[in-house]
Structure 1
Amino acid sequence: MNRIIKKVAVLGSGVMGSRIACHFAGIGVQTLLLDIAPKELTPAESAKKLTLEHPAVRNRIVNESLAAALKSNPSPVYMKEVASRIKTGNFTDDLKNIVSCDWVIEVVVERLDIKQQIFAEVEKYRKPGTLITSNTSGIPIHLMAEGRSEDFKKHFCGTHFFNPPRYLRLLEIIPTPYTDEEVTRFLMHYGDLHLGKTTVLCKDTPAFIANRVGVYSVMSIFHLVDEMGLTIDEVEALTGPLIGRPKSATFRTSDVVGIDTLVKVAKGVADNCPKDEQRGAFAIPAWLDKVVANNWLGDKTGQGFFKKTKGAGGEKEILTLNLQTMEYGPRQRPKFASVEAAKAVDDLYTRLRMLMQGADKAGEFCRKFHYGLFSYVSHRIPEISDELYRVDDAMMAGFGWEIGAFESWDVLGVEAAAKKMKEAGYSVAGWVDEMLAAGIKTFYKVENGKRLYYDIPSRQYVALPGGEAFLVMKNFAGQTVWKNSACNVYHLGDDVLGLEWNTKMGTIGGEVLEGIQRGIGMAEEKYKGLVVAGDGANFSAGANVGLIFMLAIEQDYDELDMAVRQFQQTMMRVRYSAVPVVVAPHGLTLGGACEMSLHADRVVPAAESYIGLVELGVGLIPGGGGTKEFALRAADEMHDGEPETITLKNRFFTIATAKVSTSAYEAFDLGILKKDRDIVSINQGRRVAEAKSAVIELYNDGYTMPVLRKDVRVLGRSALGMLYSGIHSMWRGQYATDHDVVVAKKLAYVMCGGDLSEPALVSEQYLLDLEREAFLSLCGEKKTLERIQSVLKGGKPVRN
Structure 2
Amino acid sequence: MSKNISVRRAAVLGAGVMGAQIAAHLTNAGVDTVLYDLPAKDGDPNGIVTRAIANLAKLSPAPLADKALAARITPANYETGLELLQGCDLVVEAIAERMDWKQDLYRKIAPFVADHAILASNTSGLGINALADVLPEQLRHRFCGVHFFNPPRYMHLAELIPARSTDASVLAGLETFLTTTLGKGVVIAKDTPNFIGNRIGVFSMLAAMHHTEAFGLGFDTVDALTGPLIGRPKSATYRTADVVGLDTMAHVIKTMADTLPEDPWHKYFKAPKWLLGLIEKGALGQKTRAGVYTKQGKDIMVLDLEAQGYRPTAGELDPEVAALLKERDPARKFAALRASAHPQAKFLWACFRDTFHYSAYHLESIADTARDVDFAMRWGYGWSMGPFESWQAAGWKQVAEWIAEDIVSGDAMSAAALPDWVFDGREGVHSTDGSYSPSRDAKVPRSTNPVYARQRFPDPLLGEQFPQGRTVFENDGVRMWVDGADGDGDGIAVLGFKTKMHTVNDQVLDGIQEAIGIAERDFRAMVIWQPREPFSAGADLSGALGLLQAGDVKGFEAMVANFQATSQRIKYSLVPVVAAVRGLALGGGCEFQMHAAHTVFGLESYVGLVEAGVGLLPAGGGLKEFAVRASERAGDSGDVFAELKTAFESVAMAKVATSAMEAKALGLARGDDTVVFNAFELLHVAKARALAMAESGYRPPLPARRVRVAGDVGIATFKMMLVNMLEGRFISPHDYEIASRIATVMCGGEVDKDALVDEDWLIRLEREHFVALAQMPKTQERIAHMLKTGKPLRN
Task: Return the TM-score normalized by structure 2.
Answer: 0.88
* Correspondence 1:599 to 2:581: no
Residue number in structure 1 paired with 2:786: 791
Query: In structure 2, what is the equivalent of residue 119 of structure 1?
Result: 106
Alignment-derived partner of residue 445 in structure 2: 462
Within 5 Å, which residues of 2 pair with 1:443-592? 443-445=430-432, 452-454=434-436, 457=440, 459-460=442-443, 462-465=445-448, 466-472=451-457, 475-476=465-466, 478-479=468-469, 481=471, 488-493=479-484, 494=489, 495-501=491-497, 504-513=500-509, 516-517=512-513, 519-524=515-520, 526-536=522-532, 538-592=534-588
Which aligned pairs between 1:174-573 and structure 2 lie closer than 5 A? Answer: 174-310=161-297, 316-332=298-314, 334-337=316-319, 350=328, 355-356=333-334, 361=342, 364-422=346-404, 425=407, 428-434=418-424, 436-437=425-426, 443-445=430-432, 452-454=434-436, 457=440, 459-460=442-443, 462-465=445-448, 466-472=451-457, 475-476=465-466, 478-479=468-469, 481=471, 488-493=479-484, 494=489, 495-501=491-497, 504-513=500-509, 516-517=512-513, 519-524=515-520, 526-536=522-532, 538-573=534-569
Give the deviation of 1:181 after TM superposition.
2.1
Partner in structure 1 of residue 18 of structure 2 = 16
The superposition leaves residues 622-641 of structure 1 with CA deviations (integer Å, 9 ceiling, x where unpaired) of 12222222222222222245
What letter corresponds to residue 36 of structure 1 in structure 2?
Answer: L
Residue 29 of structure 1: CA displacement?
Answer: 2.6
The 2-side partners of 1:231 and 1:609 are apart by 38
Aligned 8 A contact 1:243 1:351 in 2: no
Instruction: Describe the shift of the 1:126–1:305 C-alpha distance in structure 2 as closer, same or farther (beyond 3 A).
Output: same
Partner of 1:740: 735
Separation (CA, whole Å) in 1 of partners of 2:268 and 2:542: 47
Kept in 1, the 8 Å contact 2:66–2:662? The answer is: yes
Task: From 64, 74, 79, give the equivalent of 2:66.
Answer: 79
Q: Of the candidates 770, 773, 778, which is equivalent to residue 775 of structure 1?
A: 770
1:681 Cα offset (Å): 0.4
Query: Is the contact made by 1:37 and 1:90 (CA closer than 8 Å) also made in structure 2?
Result: yes
Q: Is the 8 A contact 1:356 1:363 kept in 2?
A: no
Q: Does the Cα contact within 8 Å between 1:410 and 1:444 map onto a contact in 2?
A: no
Secondary structure of the corresponding residue to residue 782 of structure 2: helix
Relative to structure 1, is the Cα distance of residues 750 and 707 closer, same or farther in structure 2, using a 3 angstrom cutoff? same
Alpha-carbon separation, structure 2, partners of 1:507 and 1:260: 45
Aligned partner of 1:29 in structure 2 is: 31
Q: Match for residue 6 of structure 1? A: 8
Structure 2 match to 1:666: 662
CA distance in 1 between counterparts of 2:644 and 2:85 reads: 48
- Say which of 602, 615, 634 aligns to 1:638: 634
Rounded to whole Å, the distance in 1 between the matches of 2:573 and 2:333 is 46
Classify 1:309/1:507 alpha carbon distance in 2 versus 1 (closer, same or farther; 3 Å): farther
Displacement, 1:542? 2.5
**d(CA) in 2 for partners of 1:549, 1:321:** 47
| TM-score computed with the length of structure 1 as normaliser | 0.87
Residue equivalent to 1:67:
54
Check the 8 A contact 1:338/1:355 in 2, yes or no. no
Question: Is the CA contact (8 Å cut-off) linking 1:308 and 1:318 kept in structure 2?
Answer: yes
| 8 Å contact from structure 1 (residues 718, 758) kept in 2 | yes
Residue deviations 1:49-92 (CA, integer Å, cap 9, x gap): xxx4xx42x33322222222233233222222322332223323
How far residue 454 of structure 1 moved from its aligned partner, in angstroms, is 4.6
How many residue pairs match? The answer is 767
Matched, 1:155 2:142: yes
Q: Does 1:680 align with 2:675?
A: yes
| C-alpha spacing 1:764/1:302, structure 2 compared with 1 (3 Å) | same
Structure 2 counterparts to residues 644-723 of structure 1, below 5 A: 644-676=640-672, 678-704=673-699, 708-723=703-718
Change (3 A) 1:136 1:64: same
> Residues 19, 376 of structure 1: CA spacing in aligned structure 2 closer, same or farther, 3 A cutoff?
same
**Kept in 1: contact 2:640–2:709 (CA 8 A):** no
Q: Which residue of 2 is the match for residue 44 of structure 1?
A: none
Among 736, 748, 751, which residue is 1:753 paired with? 748
Alpha-carbon distance change, 502 to 244 in structure 1, aligned in 2, over 3 angstroms: farther
SS in 2 for 1:31: strand
1:99-157 C-alpha deviation (Å, 9 max, x unpaired): 33333222222111111211111124334343222211121111122233201322221
Amino-acid identity (%): 37
Aligned match of 1:618 in 600, 608, 614?
Answer: 614
Task: Provide the rounded CA distance (Å) in 1 between the counterparts of 2:220 and 2:329.
Answer: 20
Deviations 1:178-224 (A, max 9, x none): 22223222221211122222222111101011111111222222223
Contact 2:647–2:668, Cα closer than 8 Å, also in 1? no
2:85 maps to 98
Distance 1:665-1:616 versus aligned 2 partners, 3 A rule: same
Q: State whether residues 233 and 332 of structure 1, in contact with CA within 8 Å, keep that contact through their aligned partners in structure 2.
A: yes
Measured in 1, the distance between the counterparts of 2:308 and 2:518 equals 63
After TM superposition, give the deviation of residue 300 of structure 1 in Å: 1.7
- CA change 1:773–1:407 in 2 (3 A) is farther
- Structure 1 residues 545 and 329, CA gap change in structure 2 (3 angstroms): farther
Cα distance in 2, alignment partners of residues 341 and 710 from structure 1: 61
Per the alignment, in what secondary structure is the counterpart of residue 606 of structure 1? Answer: strand
Letter of the 1:15 counterpart: V
Unpaired segments ≥5 residues, structure 1: 40-51, 311-315, 447-451
CA drift of 1:385 comes to 1.0
- Cα distance change on mapping 1:763 and 1:244 into 2, 3 Å: farther
CA distance in 1: counterparts of 2:511 and 2:335, whole angstroms? 35
C-alpha contact 1:309 1:318 (8 A) present in aligned 2: yes
Separation (CA, whole Å) in 1 of partners of 2:250 and 2:629? 55
> Does the CA-based 8 Å contact 1:407-1:444 persist in structure 2?
no
How far apart, CA to CA, are the structure 2 residues paired with 1:324 and 1:27? 50
Q: CA separation of 1:551/1:736 partners in 2, compared to 1, >3 Å: closer, same or farther?
A: same
Letter in 1 for 2:93: E
- Describe the shift of the 1:341–1:710 C-alpha distance in structure 2 as closer, same or farther (beyond 3 A): farther
Structure 1 residues 522 and 377: alpha-carbon distance in aligned structure 2, compared to 1, 3 A threshold: farther
C-alpha distance in 2, partners of 1:612/1:150? 53
CA RMSD of aligned residues (A): 3.1
Task: For residues 692-751 of structure 1, give each alpha carbon's deviation from its aligned partner in whole angstroms, at most 9, with x where no partner exists.
Answer: 222332333344455554444444333332332332233344443211110011112222
My pick for the range that moved more, 664-673 or 233-242, is: 233-242
* CA distance, structure 2, for counterparts of residue 387 and residue 18 of structure 1: 32
SS of aligned partner of 1:64: helix
- Please, which moves more after superposition, 728-737 or 157-166? 728-737
- In structure 2, the CA distance between the partners of 1:764 and 1:509, relative to structure 1 (3 Å rule), is same
Partner secondary structure for residue 586 of structure 1: strand
Which piece of structure 1 moves more, 162-171 or 508-517? 508-517
Worse overlay, 360-369 or 1-10: 360-369
SS at match of 2:726: helix
Distance of 1:586 and 1:208 partners within structure 2: 31
Range 131-140 or range 375-384, more displaced: 375-384
1:721 and 1:7 mapped to 2: Cα distance? 49
Take 1:37 and 1:9, find their aligned partners in 2: how far apart are those partners? 16
